[in-house]
Chain A
Amino acid sequence: MTTQAQLLPGTLDLLILRAVSLGPLHGYGVLLRIEQISGGALLIEQGALYPGLFRLLRQGLLKADWGTSENNRKAKFYELTATGQKRLREETESWNRLSTAIASALAPQPEEI
C-alpha cells in the first residue's frame, strides 16, 4: 500500500468533477473512481463525499438521476453538466499552475546545496 495523503481543503470538489467527467457514476462509484485515479493515494472519509456532491449539484455543475446500479440496487447517478465541464477545465488549469509553482518553489535551489 502506498502512503496515503490528506486531502487539501477545496480539492474534493475538483476530484469529484474529475471522477464524474469520465462517465455517469453513483456516489459509491465516485468514491471508487477517485481511489482508482489517484492510485489509492488519497484518503476520503466516505460519507464526506455527499455534502460535496450535493454542493456541486446545487451549483449546477452536476446533474443527478435515479437509476439501477450494476449491483441491481437503486442508486443516484451523477453526470457533469456543460458548466461543470467548463469549471473542471478551469480548475484543472489553475491547479496545475499552482502545483507547478509550489513544486518549483519547494524544489532544492542551487544555493541550498
Chain B
Amino acid sequence: MRLFDSLRSFASNLIHRSKTDREIDEELRSHIEHRADDLERGGLPRPEAERRARIEFGGYQRLKEESREALGSQFGEGLIQDIRFALRRMAKKPGFAIVAVLTLAFAIGANAVVFAVLNAFILRPLNVPQSESLYGLWRLSTNDMAQSYPDYLDLRDRNHSFESLLAYAVNQAALDTGNDPSRAWIDEASGNYFDALGVKPYLGRFFHSSDEHGPNSAPFIVLTYDFWRTHFQGDPSVIGRVVRLNKFPFTIIGVGPPEFHGTLMFFNPDFFVPMVNHQQFDTSDMNNRGDRWVFMTLGHLKAGVTPAQAIADLDSVGASLEKAYPKDDPKMSFKLARPGLYGDYIGRPVRTFMTALMLLAGLILFAACANLGSLFAARASDRSREIALRLALGSSRKRILRGLFAEALLISLAGGAVGLAASMVLLRALSAWQPISRWPLHMSVNPDAKVYAFALLLALASGFLFGAVPVRQVLRTDPYEAVKGGTVETKRGRFGLRISFSDVLLLLQIAICAVLVTSSIVAVRGLANSLHNSFGFELKNTMLVETDLNMAGYLGDKVPPMQKRMIDALTAIPGVDSVGLADQVPLGDAQPDSNVFADTTTDLRPTNAVTDAMMFKVSPEYFQAAGTALVSGRAFTWQENKDKPRVAVVNRLFARKIFGSETKAMGAYFKLPDGARLQVVGIAEDGKYGSLTEDPQPVMFLPILQSPSNSAYLVVRSSRDPEQLTLAIRNTLRNIDAGLPVYIQTRFKALDAFLFGPRMATISLGVLGVMGAMLSVVGIFGMASYSVSKRLREFGIRIALGAQKRELLQAALGRTFRLLAFGSAVGLLMGLAAGKVIAFIVSQATPWDPIVLGGVLLTMLLLGLLAGCVPARRALETDPLALLRED
C-alpha cells in the first residue's frame, strides 16, 4: 500500500508539480502576511513589518524545499535523483554501461526471438475463429490423418460430434494466366471448407457445399491473399477472370483474408480449388475407398461434446465401415489431433525443440544476469568507501540500495529495448524468408503484444536479479570502517571454505556456457555427419529435373512414349553421362508405399501383409544415373514392359526382411496387393528414403514401363557446371513441349527440405553457443581482472620478495582456472544429457564422440586463456616500486 501511495503521489506530483508549488508558496506567504499584520498592529510601518516578518520566518527557499518533501514528493523526487545519478555514473564509465547493455541486449534479444517463434508455432492457435475446438482425425492404424474420399464422405455424414467435417488435400497444378504456365501449390478443399472454418472472404465469394454437383462440377479458384498480392498485384478486377489450371478453365471467384494461410502451419497454399474437381489434378481415383489421398479431415467439435465422446462416436462410424468394407478399411479407429502442426508428427519435434531452445535461451539470460551481477558486486565493493561514507553521513541503506537498483533497472531496460529492436529485425526477416524455394513454406513469426510484454518482463526481472547481487554487501557495510580509513573489506566467511557468492556466479556462468558449447558442437557435428552419410544415392554431379506430365495434358498411353522421349533427349545433351526417370525419388516430395505379401499368400488382406515397403517406379538407367549401387543381380531393361513377366529390384533390408537373406531373395517372388507376382532380379544398397533420421526401411524399385506413372523426376548425371546444364536441360525440354512445367535443381539442393530442421537447429544452437562463450569470456575476464586489480599491492610485494612468474600467475589466476575447470566439467555433463534432445532433430548427433568431448574441452580452455591473458599480463607486469610509492 505504501508503495502504491508513493507511486500515486509520484505520478500526481509529476502532473501537479506546479500546482503544489503554487499552493505551498501561497500558504507560506499567507503566514508572513499574517505575521506582518500583527507587527503592524504593534506599531511598525507596513514595509518594516513585512521585512521583519520575512526575517522571522527563516530561509524561505530551504523551508519550501523541506515542505515539499514533507508533502510526499520524496519517492518521485528521489527516484528522479537516483536516475539522474545513475545516468551520470554510467556516463562516467561508458564502457561498463555499453558492455552491460549489449550483454543484456543479446540475452534478451535471443529470448525474445525464441519466444516469438514459440508463440507463433505453439502458443498462438491457427488463425481461424474458435480454433480451440478445431480437431483433425488421426487414424491409428496408418498413424496419419489421410483418408480416402468415400471414407471422408461417410465420416462427414454419419458422425454426430462435429459441426461440419471438412477435408483438404495438398496438390500442385500448372496455373496458366495467359502466357507462361507456372507451378502452384493448391489445397483441394471440400465444399464446406470455408463455411466450416468460419472464414470470411476478403474479396468476392468462397465456394460452398451447394457448388458441388459431382465430378468436375465446380471449376472455381479462391486465391490466398498473399498469392493475390504477389501474382495478381492485388488487382480487384481479378474476380471473375477465367484462367487455366492444368489446361482446364477455372474461374477466380474470391480472395481469402490476409491472415488466413490454410490450416497447416508453415505450409501456405497459393489457392484453393473444390475437391470435387480432383480428377483434373491427380490420377488417383476419387471413388476408390482404398486410395487415401485426402490429406486431412478436420472440424469444430459441437458445443458440449468432449474429445473422448467424439472419438467414441468416430470409432463407431469406423466400426460400421470396417464391416462394410473389410478390404479397404481393415482397422478404423481414431484419435483427435491438432491440425496446425499435423498432430504430433511435426508438433512433437517442434515442441520438444522449441522448449529446449527456450530453456537454453533462458540459461543465456541467467548467465548474463550472473555476469552483470558479479560486475555490479565488484563495482559496489569498489564504491564501498563511498557507501560507507554516505551511511556515516546519515543516508539510509534503503536509499543507497534504491540507487543501485535504479542503475540496474536502467541498464536492463536499455538492454531490453535494444534486444527487442534487434529481435524484431530478425523476426521480420524470418517471416519473409522462404527456406525451401520449391515449397510454400513460411514462418509467420511476427511479434505480437505477448512478445513485447515478455521482453519487458525479462528486462525488469533480470534488472532486479542482477541488481540484487550487491544488496548483502551494502547491508553489511560498516560505516565505522570508512571513518577509520583504509579500504573497507566486506567480511568473508571465517572458515576455511572460502567460496564467495561471486565465485558461485562465475561457476554457474561457466557451466551454462559449457552446456551451450557442448550442445552446439554436438549439433554441428551431427549435421556434418548426416551429410557424409550413405544416402543410397550420389549427391555429387546429379541434377534433379521435375516435370508433371499431368499438368501438361499427357494422360494414359501418351505418357510412356513422352517419358522415353525426354530421357533420350536429355541423354543426348553433351556431357551428360546418364539419365534416369522415377515417379518419385528417395528423399523427395513423397514416398509411395505398398503392402507386400509372401508369394504363398492367397488372401491379400492388408492384415496378411509381410511388411509395408516404399515403392519407387524407375526407368532402366535410374540406378546408374542416381548412383545407387546394385550389390547383386541386374537393373531393368527397356524390353521389360507390360507384356513381360513383372520384375523388381529390392534393397538389402527388403531382401533380408521378406526372404531371410540376400542370396535367398535373388530370383524369388513376392506379391503386391493387386495380386501381381514380382520376381526379384537385383538387390540395391540400403539408403535413406523418407527422412535423414529414419531407421532402415524396406524398399522396392519397379520398372516404370510395367507400372506406369505420369509423375516424372529425371535424374541427370553429368559433371558439367550445374548452371549451364540447367539451361541446356530447360531448352531441350522446351523443344519437346513448350507447355511442360519444369523445375530443375541440383540433387543436393533438393535435400533442403530434409536438412531444414537440422540446419535450423544447428544454427540456433550455434548462435546460442557463441553467445554463451562471449558471456563467459566477459565474465571470466571481469572477475579475473577485478581480483588482479584488488591484489596489485600484494603482487608488488611478492615480486619485490622475488616471487617467480609461475607462482605469481598461480596466485592471480589459479582460482579462476579452478572454477573454469570445475564449471566446464559440470556443464559438459549437462550438455551430454542435452545431446539426447538434439539427436531428435539432427540425425547422428551423439555427444559420445571424442571430437565433441575434445572440442568442448579445447573451447573452454581457449575461452579461459582468452579471458585470462590480459589480467595475467597485468599481474606479471606489476611494478613493485610504483605501487609502493603510491601509498
Contact surface of A with B, Cβ cutoff 8 Å: 26-29, 31, 45-55, 57-58, 69, 71, 73-76
Contacts and interface: CB of A to CB of B under 8 A. Distances in A.
10 tightest Cβ-Cβ pairs between the two chains A and B: A47-B58, A47-B63, A54-B70, A28-B34, A51-B66, A51-B70, A55-B70, A54-B71, A50-B67, A47-B57
A44 to B, nearest CB: 10
Interface in B12-67: 24, 26-28, 30-31, 33-35, 37, 56-60, 63, 66-67
B58 A48 contact: yes
Interface string B455-470: 0000000000000000
A55 B73 CA distance: 11
A47 B64 CA distance: 9
Contacts of A55: 70
Contacts of B72: 58
A45 B26 CA distance: 19
Interface string B426-448: 00000000000000000000000
Nearest to B60: A47
Nearest to B63: A47
Contacts of A45: 58
B70 A76 contact: no
Most buried by A among B33, B34, B72: B34
Contacts of A48: 58, 63
A52 B31 contact: no
Most buried by A among B26, B60, B71: B71
Contact of B31 (A46, A51, A54, A57): A46
Contacts of A29: 34
A108 B355 CA distance: 81
Given A51-B66, A51-B69, A46 B30 contact: no
Contacts of B56: 46
B571 to A, nearest CB: 95
Nearest to A32: B38
Interface in B630-644: none
B10 to A, nearest CB: 13
Given A51-B67, A51-B69, A51-B70, A46 B35 contact: yes
Nearest to A55: B70
Contacts of B69: 51
A61 B52 CA distance: 32
Given A45-B58, A46-B58, A52 B30 contact: no
8 contacts: A27-B30, A47-B28, A48-B58, A51-B67, A69-B30, A73-B30, A73-B33, A76-B30
Contacts of B31: 26-28, 31, 46-47, 49-50
A98 to B, nearest CB: 25
Contacts of B34: 26, 28-29, 69, 71, 73, 75
Contact of B30 (A47, A49, A53, A74): A74
A41 B233 CA distance: 93
A20 to B, nearest CB: 15
B57 A76 contact: no
B379 to A, nearest CB: 35
Given A27-B27, A47-B59, A75-B34, 6 more contacts: A28-B35, A46-B57, A47-B63, A48-B58, A58-B72, A73-B34
A57 to B, nearest CB: 7
A62 to B, nearest CB: 12
A26 B26 CA distance: 12
A76 B72 CA distance: 18
Chain B at the A interface: SS class: helix
A54 B35 CA distance: 20
Given A26-B30, A27-B30, A71 B71 contact: no
A85 to B, nearest CB: 21
Contacts of B66: 50-51
Contacts of A50: 24, 27-28, 31, 63, 66-67, 70
Contacts of B30: 26-28, 69, 73-76
Contacts of A71: 33-34, 37
Contacts of B27: 27, 50, 75-76
A57 B58 contact: no
Contacts of B58: 45-48
Contacts of B70: 50-55, 58
Nearest to A74: B30
A48 B72 CA distance: 16
Most buried by B among A26, A31, A51, A73: A51
Given A51-B66, A76-B30, A58 B71 contact: yes
Contact of A54 (B59, B60, B67): B67
Contacts of A54: 67, 70-71
Nearest to B34: A28
Contacts of B63: 47-48, 50-51
A31 to B, nearest CB: 8
A76 B69 CA distance: 18
A65 B854 CA distance: 79
A94 B404 CA distance: 39
A45 B24 CA distance: 17
Contacts of A69: 30, 34
Contacts of B67: 50-51, 54
Contacts of A46: 31, 35, 56-58
B323 to A, nearest CB: 82
Contacts of B57: 46-47
B865 to A, nearest CB: 60
Nearest to B74: A58
Interface in B62-111: 63, 66-67, 69-72
A25 to B, nearest CB: 11
A109 B788 CA distance: 65
Contacts of B35: 28, 46
B51 to A, nearest CB: 14
A54 B57 CA distance: 16
Nearest to A28: B34
A10 to B, nearest CB: 14
Contacts of B59: 47
B71 A57 contact: yes
A79 to B, nearest CB: 15
A69 B34 CA distance: 9
B30 to A, nearest CB: 5
A99 to B, nearest CB: 27
A30 to B, nearest CB: 10
A48 B71 CA distance: 14
A46 B60 CA distance: 10
Contacts of A28: 30-31, 34-35
Contacts of B28: 47, 50
Nearest to A58: B72
Interface in B486-530: none
A75 B32 CA distance: 11
A27 B34 CA distance: 10
A45 B60 CA distance: 12
A85 B37 CA distance: 31
A46 B71 CA distance: 18
B8 to A, nearest CB: 12
Contacts of B26: 74
B12 to A, nearest CB: 13
Nearest to B35: A28
Contacts of A51: 63, 66-67, 69-70
Nearest to A69: B34
A48 to B, nearest CB: 7
A55 B71 CA distance: 6
Nearest to B41: A71
A34 to B, nearest CB: 14
Contacts of A53: 70
A26 B35 CA distance: 12
A21 B251 CA distance: 90
Most buried by B among A45, A47, A51, A58: A47
A46 B57 CA distance: 5
A36 B71 CA distance: 27
A28 B36 CA distance: 11
